[in-house]
Structure 1
């Protein structure tokens, strides 16, 4: 019989590696928390400053404060160029993704780090993962901005719609309500709620694989939340409150053990809100700046 001898040096090295891995994840969590809080600070400060700002700074501050709809209004009115507007919208969606989406993706990100850090060069793969994730959300933001521009152009050509903007908001709420109850929503939510099975299926080593994984996770995340975010895009008012409410909904749905149970109630709440806004809203289309 071969006697197994425990080598103290090997045990110490194993404990050291485990400790470094735990500290690495703690470092990532600390960094994520700093980014999330920083993004919220930018949104709050920008919203406060925008109300008293003048000139070209107004559009930038409204955008960073989550009021991307105000940028679409400026473009439709001819007071802001399209290239500048697109740059502002991209920057605004980076801030909104950090503030609203990262909290619900923390379980996926930390598990990715725990898996990837076993391989040399994992930090590069992690950066590519985040880059892919943010790219998807910024791309969605650009598409949503295009929709907002189109609706604003329609409102300029059709004064009735400009005077009854609550119809647009109610339509977005109704779309959110319907999407909450679809099998596609459930399928996307399942991928976001189960990071272990997601990584077992799709994780590969390397920087390009990290990019592809971030893209894939971002696509499922957009699939969960696009209809909710569309409400914020077209609302044009109370953006900080909406950002907080929607971020909380997305966090609960994707990160809490009982999150699946709130999907249908949220859909029903959005349906009630759509009817309420449609019949009781006074949604005149006004410029926030």
Structure 2
């Protein structure tokens, strides 16, 4: 029976990921965008509208934005939980863990990302009404996009990134040092892991404003990188190279004179 339960919960876990990606794809299609978040004819007209005059538009209201970001968090961040949940399973026998605790770890982790979804939805509204981004969440200035790329690239080299990534990269050590039994304990540990994960990966969410928050290609690449970054065998080897890549991207987007001949 334990094998059946294990298979069922893992099937539900991966089904959640697929549903989240389906929701994002559906939203992109309904907004007349392609997989790169580029607008079709109808969406292009929407981009030209004054956000102050079109408050009825979904992308100018908090609740639709929160739903969108919540689905995005599920699509992008839940896959990164696989090493963590496997680590918890390894401790279920030796450390008196339970399947309820396993589910609670996932619930606590995702709760943090739902709070993050609410915060970044509010940020998107502020940027929209401040004229920094358009209705589709795309930066209006290449300088804004370059600044975001530079900020996230530099963050890859900070002590804060190192600490947060260390926890995300080695969830087994976190569990050993912070073990709490039962569902309540699992939820508490999930919250802690979620906070460290948000501290590690927030920049890749914010980068959505550089190329469009509905860009499924960006979402897929960012998800792939964050999964790789958390793999115990190779995670430490990709963090700083990604930082250099993002900084180079900032230089290219800004159109640095040495590169452009200007």
TM range (shorter): 0.7 to 0.9
**Aligned mate of 1:88, from 57, 60, 64:** 64
Helix, strand or coil at the partner of 2:207: helix
> What does 1:1-289 align with in structure 2 at a 5 Å threshold?
20-51=1-32, 76-80=52-56, 85-116=61-92, 122-155=98-131, 164-236=140-212, 239-255=215-231, 257-279=233-255
Q: Contact between 1:37 and 1:99, CA under 8 Å: does it hold in 2?
A: yes
Instruction: Say which is worse superposed, 198-207 or 223-232, in terms of deviation.
Output: 198-207
Q: Contact between 2:69 and 2:121, CA under 8 Å: does it hold in 1?
A: no
Q: Contact between 2:139 and 2:211, CA under 8 Å: does it hold in 1?
A: no
Alpha-carbon displacement from aligned partner over 1:17-47 (angstroms, at most 9, x marks no partner): xxx5454433333222222122212212321
Distance 1:122 1:93, change over 3 A: farther
Q: Contact between 1:148 and 1:234, CA under 8 Å: does it hold in 2?
A: no
Q: Distance in 2 between matches of 1:21 and 1:198?
A: 25
Helix, strand or coil at the partner of 1:208: helix
Query: CA shift at 1:234, angstroms?
Result: 4.9
Instruction: Say which is worse superposed, 126-135 or 239-248, in terms of deviation.
Output: 126-135
More helix by share: 1
Q: Contact between 1:145 and 1:233, CA under 8 Å: does it hold in 2?
A: no
Q: TM-score of the superposition, structure 2-length normalised?
A: 0.78
Distance 1:48 1:169, change over 3 A: same
Q: Distance in 1 between matches of 2:139 and 2:69?
A: 28
Q: TM-score of the superposition, structure 1-length normalised?
A: 0.71
Q: Distance in 1 between matches of 2:61 and 2:242?
A: 32
Distance 1:50 1:219, change over 3 A: same
Query: CA shift at 1:272, angstroms?
Result: 1.0
Unaligned runs of 5+ in 1: 1-19, 53-69, 157-161, 281-289
Query: CA shift at 1:144, angstroms?
Result: 2.0
Helix, strand or coil at the partner of 1:155: coil
Name the Cα RMSD after superposition: 3.3
Helix, strand or coil at the partner of 1:257: coil
Q: Distance in 2 between matches of 1:185 and 1:78?
A: 39
Distance 1:217 1:121, change over 3 A: closer
Q: Distance in 1 between matches of 2:3 and 2:125?
A: 47
Q: Distance in 2 between matches of 1:204 and 1:171?
A: 41
Query: CA shift at 1:259, angstroms?
Result: 1.7
Query: CA shift at 1:117, angstroms?
Result: 7.2
